[in-house]
Structure 1
Amino acid sequence: MMMATKITPESLLSLEQYHKQRPQIRERIIALRKRRTVHLGEHLTLIFENEELMRYQIQEMLRVEKIFESEGIQDELDAYNPLVPDGSNFKATMMIEYTLELERKAALRRLRGIENQVFVEVEGQKRVYAIADEDLERTTEDKTSAVHFLRFELTPPMCAALKSGAQMKVGCDHKEYPMHLDGLSPETLAELVSDLD
């Protein structure tokens, strides 16, 4: 199987180049992120990451922090490259969103463990539950975090089915937040299929 492209220092724009191209890049990224975002109800959002979104995150971090030394650049690559899909999986940033702080605090206590109960289900196949937070544990005994990083590992038959036009359900079966979408928009599904080798 072909390995997905990882972002290298040589493939990044210099701070000056990025500054000049940033308005056009930003416009493209906003549209891309919208196509790769799935809302599960009002409070759970999944952004299915890809190489282009992670490249943008890295370039933004380098710009904001004014990082141009190779060591600092490598630190950013090490942080964001793990979120680039590997060709047989989807990787997503999951956000639990509540406007009011009191409501958010109560929800994060109630939704403890939700990161392990988010799934994708390719038409005609078994559910695949997320492998959450492989970099560090984000849930304590008292509450879950508002942000989690998820990986959904697919089997070759699942990948083949998606490439052949199968639909995919995305959902959560946490007892405090049961929610699912029976199908994705054609644009979102096409984006996700493009992550597969």
Structure 2
Amino acid sequence: MAKITRDSLLSLEAYHKDRPEIREKAIQERRIRTVHLGEHLTMIFENEFLMRYQIQEMLRVEKTFEEEGIQDELDAYNPLVPDGTNFKATMMLEYPNEGDRKVALAKLVGIEDKIFIEVEGQPRVYALADEDLERSTAEKTSAVHFMRFELTPDMIKALKAGAQMMVGCDHKEYPMHVKTLPHETLASLITDLS
């Protein structure tokens, strides 16, 4: 998969004009690529379109025209574009009540290393989390983690041939699996694999 480049971005003026249509597509794409593990853990499987939208939104909000600022956004979001042999995701732990969130984040230390995908007939693949910087401490985990799931050629072949995929967490404080991904979610994820 190609990374997003400065030359491939819309100007702020062009983006402003096309934004309603792009935003609607991004909302639909994010909905399709979101997997909920229980009531508190959400995985958004990122792709080039969603990261391009995020970059364009950041440039719009911050009114960024300078090359350096544009490059900063590209450097921040390009690592979340799948490379053709992996899925990349943003994982969020969502607890609306601040007190509940504080307790949960302390109990869920290490959860980012217990998130997995399992392609039917293949071994589990655990997330490689927070490769850019450490987001957890010994006392608590972060509410947001960025992860990569690296797939073998056999896993990619199985998915393209119609195998199902499960997403799960086997942290002792939050054991949760999604047995069957919706067809449109799995179909969208498969487009990340070259």
Shorter-chain-normalised TM-score: which range? over 0.9
Percent identical residues? 74
1:48 aligns with one of 34, 45, 48: 45
User: CA shift at 1:183, angstroms?
Assistant: 1.1
For 1:140 and 1:64, the matched residues in 2 are separated by: 32
Task: Report what 1:93 is aligned to.
Answer: 90
1:180 aligns with one of 166, 172, 177: 177
**TM-score by structure 2 length?**
0.99
Task: Report what 1:155 is aligned to.
Answer: 152
Write out per-residue CA displacement over residues 171-196 of structure 1, whole angstroms, 9 at most, x where no aligned residue.
Answer: 00000000001110000000001100
**TM-score by structure 1 length?**
0.98
Alignment of 1:60 with 2:51, yes or no, is: no
Write out per-residue CA displacement over residues 112-132 of structure 1, whole angstroms, 9 at most, x where no aligned residue.
Answer: 000000000000000000000
For 1:47 and 1:58, the matched residues in 2 are separated by: 16
**1:67-78 to 2 correspondences below 5 Å:** 67-78=64-75
1:126 aligns with one of 103, 107, 123: 123
Alignment of 1:29 with 2:26, yes or no, is: yes
Structure 1 segments unaligned to the other structure (5+ residues)? none
Write out per-residue CA displacement over residues 87-114 of structure 1, whole angstroms, 9 at most, x where no aligned residue.
Answer: 0000000000011000000000000000
Alignment of 1:18 with 2:15, yes or no, is: yes
For 1:193 and 1:20, the matched residues in 2 are separated by: 31
Q: For 1:190, what is the secondary structure of its paired residue?
A: helix
For 1:181 and 1:60, the matched residues in 2 are separated by: 31
AA paired with 2:9?
L
For 2:67 and 2:18, the matched residues in 1 are separated by: 21
User: CA shift at 1:141, angstroms?
Assistant: 1.4
Task: Report what 2:106 is aligned to.
Answer: 109
User: CA shift at 1:14, angstroms?
Assistant: 0.5
Q: Which runs of 4+ in 1 moved over 2 A?
A: none
Task: Report what 2:186 is aligned to.
Answer: 189
For 2:56 and 2:174, the matched residues in 1 are separated by: 35
For 1:61 and 1:135, the matched residues in 2 are separated by: 20
Write out per-residue CA displacement over residues 63-109 of structure 1, whole angstroms, 9 at most, x where no aligned residue.
Answer: 11111111110110000000000000000000000110000000000
Write out per-residue CA displacement over residues 123-145 of structure 1, whole angstroms, 9 at most, x where no aligned residue.
Answer: 00000000000010000111000
User: CA shift at 1:33, angstroms?
Assistant: 0.3
